[in-house]
Amino acid sequence: MAAARPALGRVLPGSSMLFLCDMQEKFRHVVYFRQIVSVAARMLKVARLLSVPTVLTEQYPQGLGPTVPELGAQGLQPYSKTCFSMVPAVQQELDARPQLRSVLLCGVETQACILQTALDLLDRGLQVHVVVDACTSRSQVDRLVALSRLRQSGAFLSTSEGLIFQLVGDATHPQFKEIQKLVKEPSPDSGLLGLFQDQNPLFR
């Protein structure tokens, strides 16, 4: 019998969701927060253009404040949570989409809410794409090791631009020109080159 084919990590608008995790006022001090919010905002604009469903969470908003306005998520109703994983808070959204195959994950912090959300989603049999230029941590050591851990557990590490082009699929797509405007400027530097340079042994 032939071996099972490994998941390729294809991303299609009709079977994907965008998860925006805890980009709140009290996290502004987190390293590269401004840059990753900028990238997450671009992902949200693309999701809206391509009708990709999006969910937004806030971790204990009474203490950590609301979602930062520059994310551009004013039209989304945030799900309040205390659990580090997003999954319990958005369970109904997941259950309502039997066609769901892939989740694109952005936010903070990589070693806590992003990691635990990804593990819960993987446990449900979903493919998880961590948008590496839209996730960060207070400690860059935590960020680095969490990305390695996510990869070990079966999540895909992807850049925002790579995922955007997968979603749009074809230059003849009716929304391509609008999306092309969004990706014309490269993503801001969020310190990833420093994490991946010199053949980092965690990513071999």
pLDDT digits (tens, 9 = 90+) for 134-186: 999 999 999 999 999 999 999 999 999 999 999 999 999 999 999 999 999 88
Structure tokens at 37: 């919010």
Q: Which residues are designated catalytic?
A: 22, 81, 113
SS (H, E, C) 110-148: HHHHHHHHHHHHHHCCCEEEEEEEEEECCCHHHHHHHHH
Q: What distance in Å separates the CA atoms of residue 156 and residue 165, rounded to the nearest whole number?
A: 16
Kindly report the backbone phi and psi dihedral angles of residue 96, in degrees, each rounded to the nearest multiple of 5, phi listed first: -80, -5
Residue 2 has pLDDT above 90, yes or no: no
Domain positions in the chain: 16-188
Q: In terms of CATH architecture, what is 16-188?
A: 3-Layer(aba) Sandwich (3.40)
Q: What distance in Å separates the CA atoms of residue 133 and residue 71, rounded to the nearest whole number?
A: 14
Sign of CA dihedral 135, 202, 87, 97: positive
Q: Which residue has the tokens 């999954």?
A: 87
146 Cβ contact partners less than 8 Å away, ≥ 6 residues apart: 110, 111, 114, 115, 137
pLDDT, one tens digit per residue, over 81-119 is 999 999 999 999 999 999 999 999 999 999 999 999 999
Q: What distance in Å separates the CA atoms of residue 163 and residue 130, rounded to the nearest whole number?
A: 10
Kindly report the backbone phi and psi dihedral angles of residue 124, in degrees, each rounded to the nearest multiple of 5, phi listed first: -85, 0
Residue 5 has pLDDT above 90, yes or no: no
Q: What distance in Å separates the CA atoms of residue 81 and residue 23, rounded to the nearest whole number?
A: 13
